Structure 1
Amino acid sequence: LRARRGMAPFTQCMSPAHMRGLNVPDVLKKDFICNGPAETESRTCVTQVTVCPPSCSCNNNIVDCRRKGLAEIPANLPEGIVEIRLEQNQIKSVPAGAFTAYKKLKRIDLSKNQISDIAADAFSGLRSLTSLVLYGNKITELPKGIFDGLVSLQLLLLNANKINCLRVNAFQDLQNLNLLSLYDNKMQTISKGLFTPLRSIKTLHLAQNPFMCDCHLKWLADYLFDNPIETSGARCSHPRRLANKRISQVKGKKFRCTGQEDYRSRLSGECFQDLVCPEKCRCEGTVVDCSNLKLTRLPPHIPEHTTDLRLNDNEIAILEATGTFKKLPNLRKINLSNNKLRDVREGAFDGASGVLELLLTVNKLTGLQGRMFKGLSGLKTLMLRSNQISCIDNSTFTGLSSG
């Protein structure tokens, strides 16, 4: 550089510290020295993208990391890989851009891990990908756009997860998909149009899902009748009159919605968190049944669409003013019978103006305090039999003018 000063006029030293900022051509030859560990450092540049993970094997552009106890997806894999096998590890998440650098990938196998979280752009840019295997994980929801751009995908295995909802445009770019497995998940309904983009689909697996066969699932019965590609024998779980009936064989007039009971399935394509049933409870339409669970308080995250809340046969002793009913604008009936209820705090029913029926039978109430039922302005039926009531305050029923 001393001989060709015009070639790199701003080339400067970064280290060691006492030489930082000096122009390289101005440094004397005697000052270019190595001390200690620096003398042993390699001077060859190793391209990281050619590194095979220590515990894996890499042959013929296939990275095999099966059963290696991995907790995360290895980075800096060989750039030209066409297949990566990561099944049977302990991976819990797939981060953003996890595979984006490997444009030649044709197959990814992440089956039998512990995956519950996948970034929306985890598979972004993989236009050559033909097989994506995600079965046997803990996935509950797929982020918006996760499969966008996977135009070559032919096989998608999502079975044996906990998926409760699929956005209506989830498969919009998968026109070459041949096989889709959603077997053994938690889906109660599927939005009309979900499978429309799948112009090449030949095999569909939908069985072992708790399908609610109401008016919003009629389209699926029609679709499967016209396209007999569902080979796993998908059946209705609810309502009871259609339980265990094969969806493709149920007549269209049997798929009915009553009143507000279609809320849950009508919004399925949006994947609202509201569609998830409280833990251990049972949800059918807009009925949330949390009876016989030994509950000592109201369960959290009761869906907004709930019209009938069944809390009977539990161990609730005090009904606190938690604001729960302010979040349930569609609620019409509350069943708290057969608990251990001895006190209802003022404000416990705030926001429950739409409730028409309240059952408090077979509890341990000894007195009805003033304003105990505040907030129940629309109440028509109040059942209090089989308690130990000896005192009723003059203002107890103030505001209950609808009965």
Structure 2
Amino acid sequence: MYILLFNRRSTNAEYISHFHQHNFSCVDWKQAPEATAGNCTRYGSYGALRCYGGMNNLPSIPEQKVRKLEEIIFCGWPENVFNPLIDLQPFPKIRTLTIEYSNFTEIIFDFPEMFYLQTINISWTNLSHISSRTFKRVHTLKVADLRWNQLIQMEGPLILPRYFEKLYLAGNPWNCTRNFKWLLLPEQGAAVVDRGELLCADRKYKDRLMLAVMHYKLLLKEECQSHPDLQNCTCIMHHIIPKSHIPLYTVNCSNLNFQRLPAYIPANTTMLFLNNNQITDVLPLRNNVNYRHVVDVHLDNNLVESIDVLEGGYWLEHFRLLSLRGNKLRKLPVYALDNALEDNANANLLLLSMNPWFCSCKFAMSFRETLIKYNSILRDSWNITCTYQQGDDLRQAKVLSITRQDVCKLNEDPKVHPLDMLNGVLASLILFILGKLAYDYYHYKYYGRVPWIVMKLP
């Protein structure tokens, strides 16, 4: 916190706004007569000035009276920026500053050194950024109301004077992908009296409470950094489920020379990246309960040789994405993969290209059928190639373009198969018997001669 060096008696008493006493507001300010000319109205009995759309008539007010003004309200500030160094210079003794319903987007300089200003209210403007040092030199500041602007992020906690009391930040479209973890710290976040009402407006955490988002982020960071299995891994929260407010995490351990899948990952991890490592085994996906909720696994460019261990397991029937490009896969249980994809309504993407597949006759045909059947899930199917034996040569082709004739020929086909020889002998005997029968019938009919074997029968 910024240390207050100037402690004046005027700062010890609670200052009550004259505008609140008299119910002054900027609502419908454009309908006021002064709005057309951009003029100010002074309320002399209590040293207040209200300006509509500018300060064009300020030079007509005696300087001595202007310098004594204690309260300023600007309705519809006319410029695109607000410059406190220049715009507040005529008012050295103001105690309350209000700027409402204005289109300016930036406070281009920090507030100058001020020793009377206790309350700043900047609301219903297009202010989208504020520096942590903006109010640093307002030594008597107690209340800053920045609600209902277009603030997306803050560089960090505002540097505020020692006796500061209340900061209001609700109603802004905060981007919670930025770092607001300081809100959780008592010495920095306690001054934000409405911090429990701050809502996220970014795409990832829209309408989630900022404090909850920051709390989950902090817990995840501590969990990842403290566990040896996740050293150097990056852990982020990528989503919070509506209503239940359950956080979902992504763990990225790519390019870290991992030899195996980590035995531990944070609860509620749904996405795991382990690309470009030296992993050979995917067994934890089947038998490690920490992986039960992991639906997306990226294992590109590893040393996985088989995924047979996943057959019949819970994970294979519930995964959403599995990427195994650039591994050492030669074969897989096609029937098991077919059954899993048939039953898994959640499956969205399975990538298997850039593996050294080997196509035997049976595997090639069933693998090809599976690629065709699930082409909407196996989206790199046209890039899956395999090696197959044709004669004495090893050939390579895309699995979807391979035919049965390519992979199902025998290496050496003999010209006459033994069965063919047997069939030939049997056919010859049948022809001989039929010929003998015709010969005997002819001789019996015309010559009355019976076959020799008939005469030998008893």
TM-score, normalized by length of structure 2? 0.36
Larger helix fraction of residues: 2
TM-score, normalized by length of structure 1? 0.40
